[in-house]
A = this chain, B = another copy of it.
Amino acid sequence: MSDPTLDVVAIGNAIVDVLAPADDALVEKLGLSKGAMNLVDADESARIYAALGPAVEQSGGSAANTCAGIASFGGTAGFVGRVRDDQLGEVFAHDLRSIGVQFETRAATSGAATARSMILITPDAHRTMCTFLGAAAELEPDDVPSELIRAGAVTYLEGYLWDQPLAKDAIRHSAAIAHAAGRRVAFTLSDSFCVERHRDEFLALIDREVDVLFANEAEITALYETDDFDAAVAAVQPHCEITALTRSELGAVVTGPGGVYVIPAEPVSHLVDTTGAGDQFAAGFLYGLTHGLEAEDCGRLGALAAAEVIEHVGPRPETSLRKLASPILD
């Protein structure tokens, strides 16, 4: 078997974020679950947009953000996801390619517009997402090149993709190719409401296909229907080689063959916008994992990347993560 030529190949929803400040009253008035990813259709998307103030547009998408983070560490990544041949699709592709992430999925020439996620940032720095999946929802197995999957040391998959029937096949197909090539499969639970929608399938996937699992406390406890984080940690361990479970300011718990590690959160001087925190934790962790670091140091890189992204608006790093990580990496 040949060696991988990329650190990570990620499959996810290709999304442009529409970032707008909002107060709690607006989140409530719009009937949104605060802190969650709310799926909306085109009409609802238009209704919510009309209620928002001025916004800023910036490339996003959970797994794509993770690719951007890996590139910022100096790692190599490829992304698979579907956009339309429209302006936001062009923005999405540009922003990934300009940082060296391989992105070759052909833009759809018909069908729904490129996905957008309106992200309401409340004064407490938390974000509530309203996602119109658009073209991203049309990802299908043919969009995933087998060669690309085989090229990645890790294939990283978004739980969010489970909201799209065709994408599920693409994911199962990719996981099979990755394992046949001797690669690892990593998965993120993405969102606690997403876990509620797909619990049984997620449990089966984790048991059979997932080598590295990412989740935050709300997601992992939702998966095992418990209020007790430690019980959830105990429940997941037998099913995965490695788990990285994040707890915001409480840091993270990493479990692996070597044991269980508690990783403290990095200090944050000014919390601005939590968008992308989980995505960047995964970036740091996967960069470490694909560069031979121990699980504990992978967790430290994840905590460092998460701390950078929550100090500014937007889901991707604005500072070189490689430089920030030099005390760990050099």
Contact = CB atoms under 8 A, between A and B. Distances in A.
Nearest to A57: B57
B91 A57 contact: yes
For chain A, give the interface size range. 20 to 34
Nearest to A59: B54
Given A54-B316, A57-B58, A99-B54, A49 B87 contact: no
A95 interface: yes
A99 B50 CA distance: 11
A152 interface: no
B95 A54 contact: yes
Contacts of A95: 54-55
Interface string A79-103: 0000000111001001100110000
Interface in A45-93: 49-50, 52-59, 68, 86-88, 91
A282 interface: no
Interface in A108-128: 113-114
A16 to B, nearest CB: 8
Contacts of A54: 59, 68, 94-95, 98-99, 316
A59 B94 CA distance: 19
A113 B87 contact: yes
A52 B98 contact: yes
A314 interface: yes
The CB with the most chain B CB atoms within 10 A, among A18, A52, A94, is that of: A94
A49 B94 contact: yes
A53 B86 contact: no
Contact of A86 (B55, B87, B316): B87
Nearest to A314: B56
The CB with the most chain B CB atoms within 10 A, among A58, A99, A114, is that of: A58
Interface of A: 18, 49-50, 52-59, 68, 86-88, 91, 94-95, 98-99, 113-114, 314, 316
State the 6 A-B residue pairs at the shortest beta-carbon distance, nearest first: A57-B57, A54-B95, A87-B87, A53-B98, A56-B58, A87-B88
26 contacts: A18-B91, A50-B94, A50-B98, A52-B94, A52-B98, A53-B98, A53-B99, A54-B59, A54-B95, A54-B98, A54-B99, A55-B91, A55-B94, A55-B95, A56-B56, A56-B57, A56-B58, A56-B314, A57-B57, A57-B58, A57-B91, A86-B86, A87-B87, A87-B88, A87-B113, A87-B114
